[in-house]
Structure 1
């Protein structure tokens, strides 16, 4: 069964319409606040980026399909805050205690935001996993886009690219494996590749069959073609 969030290239969802170049960064004021509170709570150290992505993926299908982009962000965040014990449902409803929070000392202050964002969150790590593929080599993605470690778990292999033939464009080094990191199983770093796929490999009736899509994919998603 496909996952509701895995929508890339799905027939029937309509065309992608890029915003005008002069469009505001945030269509509504609260969008910026949703981004800010998501980044700020991330610095509390209670989860990682893969956990937060999976939280958005786990929204109910009814909510996921009707929510806007930042509604998905703030809803997934609310779930995480309660699941990790950072806040209670009473806190979210405004009925919680006014006592200082035990994580208050970790708060991301306004004056440190620019530096923190500039530093980023690098995911490259040393790894003992041998590099299996080289640039120019033909590969195939595993047939099912699924987490091999956790049933129904997070993975960065999109459904539309499962079982497709491509070629290695470059090796990015070794990076944290989201499939493991999203579920508290450790970072499990492994080689990460940029892989190019012809459009005709991904979709039955592409408008431009020889166009290419480039995906960053972990080694465990790939096999020799």
Structure 2
């Protein structure tokens, strides 16, 4: 959690929500901007719309993979945000479904752009992920973006 906490602190400073001195001292420094008005429940829906909380995108991007195709989750270790579970990295599975095109969270979380791409539901045999102690007929489905996958 320390990695996430550090990333969140970096994000609030870079976005201008909190000055670094406020984080260092734990108090609002003289002259630091005060958030006004306070966030209310009625403000959530308009903010979500403004911040593109709907992450589906209707753009003509060809899928990289097809349903039924064998794929491997890339073995990556990015310093920032990723939705690729560590336990799936380097493991092979089969594309079960193409959900369409969505904002790529890794770049979007760092304000590096939406980088829209296909998201696939990939079926992994439980034994592929956790070894022989896993039940032989169990499967795990993980929704993964194009950038997390490569052909198996």
TM above 0.5, one fold? yes
The residue aligned with 1:49 is none
- Flag the structure with higher strand content: 2
Show structure 1 runs of 5+ residues with no match: 6-55, 61-75
Residue 195 and residue 99 in structure 1: after superposition, are their counterparts in 2 closer, same or farther (change >3 A)? closer
Contact (CA 8 Å) 1:127, 1:190: kept in 2 or not? no
Give CA deviations for 1:18-74 in whole Å, capped at 9, x if unaligned.
Answer: xxxxxxxxxxxxxxxxxxxxxxxxxxxxxxxxxxxxxx63447xxxxxxxxxxxxxx
The residue aligned with 1:199 is 126
Q: Distance in 2 between matches of 1:185 and 1:78?
A: 17
Q: CA RMSD in A?
A: 3.2
The residue aligned with 1:109 is 40
Q: Distance in 1 between matches of 2:32 and 2:5?
A: 30
Give CA deviations for 1:82-104 in whole Å, capped at 9, x if unaligned.
Answer: 44332234477345348863x53
Contact (CA 8 Å) 2:72, 2:90: kept in 1 or not? yes
1:93 aligns with 2:93: no
User: Pick from 159, 163, 182: which aligns with 2:90?
Assistant: 163
Show structure 2 runs of 5+ residues with no match: none
Please say which of residues 195-204 and 84-93 is displaced more in the overlay.
84-93
Give CA deviations for 1:137-185 in whole Å, capped at 9, x if unaligned.
Answer: 222222x1334xxxx2322212211121111121111111122223322
The SS at the match of 2:64 is coil
The residue aligned with 1:189 is 116
Q: Distance in 1 between matches of 2:104 and 2:15?
A: 21
Shift of 1:108: 3.0
Give CA deviations for 1:179-212 in whole Å, capped at 9, x if unaligned.
Answer: 2223322111011111110111111243313211
Aligned residues: 148
Q: Distance in 2 between matches of 1:178 and 1:118?
A: 16
Contact (CA 8 Å) 1:146, 1:157: kept in 2 or not? no
Residue 104 and residue 132 in structure 1: after superposition, are their counterparts in 2 closer, same or farther (change >3 A)? same
Deviating above 6 A after TM superposition, structure 1's stretches of 4 or more consecutive aligned residues are: 117-120
